[in-house]
A and B are shown apart, each in its own frame.
Chain A
């Protein structure tokens, strides 16, 4: 087989790819040996591939790598937080579901209200009818007057049982005594009296605003 220059130019890219049959390849090899122009085209095309194939030839805007790294780091943090929040929920949710089995409000806990805080603790010693307050956007419920209430101007009062059912978790400061184990008994009567008094004051203050 004999090939002319036009045929060579048409096939030169396939030749470089190794995508021509043996007969054509041999004919092209013959042609290159005798044709300086086609050899120059072949070498030039290979140089083009070599030059552009070298990734250090790629011009990227200044600061490209740093900006990419920052954005990925931000995303990685978000993903990690999402994951850790989920995994932090799974254990206490499962624990609550199990522990709550014997309590009279067990059914209300097993409904699908995920706990809103990763600091979730089983609040099974809290008297279910204890008046507590929750505030908009917060995760915990408190005894009225607790200094750790966020958004004090947006609180509402409900019972501990309702707060737990809605997914709130007890504040570890003002409700600490209920969160201790059964081996550390407490005087629930006294504390209820204290807190209900506070709660009324709080409500009055709310009404006044």
Chain B
């Protein structure tokens, strides 16, 4: 458990190379900016997609967010993680875009109140191990993307920021402008719903033919 906590809460201090790059870009070497943000480009895209749910809008917002980060790079302070700062800018851009384009959005503005009552897991398939080969399969990536896209946005946003973008609970709450208690409630539901959506598939279909690595646990 201690290892898991370490994984979840480790602030991943920026590497020395990253700190150098930040300093260089802050001094005006803007051509190095892409090298600085490249490791996070997928996460920036995922954050924008979680909020906008449209690939074109998400890509455009990801680019806009990067440009905004470049324009404001001198305001970045080393006490926060660069990736967190970048994701926060992205979330902000995406939320602004959604407000601006609300009337054009195809997704209904769903009720933002948290569901009453407890979530009861539906599927108790044994899903204890993940074969590492599974992670390399496009089919698996698509299943994950579909399952995530099927969640209501209030759950999807919280899950993406916490579990994919590795923001902590407090940062997630601040980025979305909701309470810490709401983040926790929604996170629980999102994790259990995704588990239900994926566990059955795991057992029945998409990666069951892969050899399991006996004796290894994901955590």
Contacts and interface: CB of A to CB of B under 8 A. Distances in A.
A17 interface: yes
Nearest to B142: A59
Interface stretch (A5-13, A97-105, A121-129): A5-13
Nearest to B138: A59
B182 to A, nearest CB: 13
A101 to B, nearest CB: 32
Nearest to B25: A76
Interface in A1-46: 6, 9-10, 12-14, 16-19, 36-37, 40-41, 43-46
A104 B167 CA distance: 65
B30 A13 contact: no
Contact of B34 (A13, A18, A55, A72): A72
A76 B127 contact: no
Given A9-B121, A13-B191, A47-B195, A64 B41 contact: yes
Sort chain B's interface into a size bin: 35 or more
B144 interface: yes
Contacts of B218: 43, 46-47, 50
A52 B30 contact: no
Nearest to A56: B135
Given A47-B127, A50-B219, A68-B62, A18 B8 contact: yes
Contacts of A49: 8, 163, 191
A75 B1 contact: no
A58 B199 contact: no
Interface residues of A, number: 46
Contact of A48 (B4, B135, B141, B194): B194
A64 B45 contact: yes
Nearest to A76: B30
Given A58-B164, A72-B70, A17 B144 contact: no
Contacts of A12: 188, 191-192
A40 B43 contact: no
B164 A41 contact: no
A77 to B, nearest CB: 8
B42 A41 contact: no
Contacts of B188: 10, 12-14
B46 interface: yes
B42 A72 contact: no
B110 interface: no
B208 to A, nearest CB: 14
Contact of B66 (A9, A37, A53, A68): A68
Interface of A: 6, 9-10, 12-14, 16-19, 36-37, 40-41, 43-61, 64-65, 67-69, 71-73, 75-76, 79-80, 83
9 contacts: A9-B118, A16-B4, A16-B191, A40-B125, A44-B199, A59-B145, A72-B70, A80-B30, A80-B31
Interface of B: 1, 4-5, 8-9, 28, 30-31, 33-34, 37-38, 41-43, 45-46, 55, 59, 62-63, 66-67, 70, 118-121, 124-128, 130, 135-136, 140-142, 144-145, 148, 159-160, 163-164, 166, 169, 184, 187-188, 191-192, 194-195, 198-199, 218-219
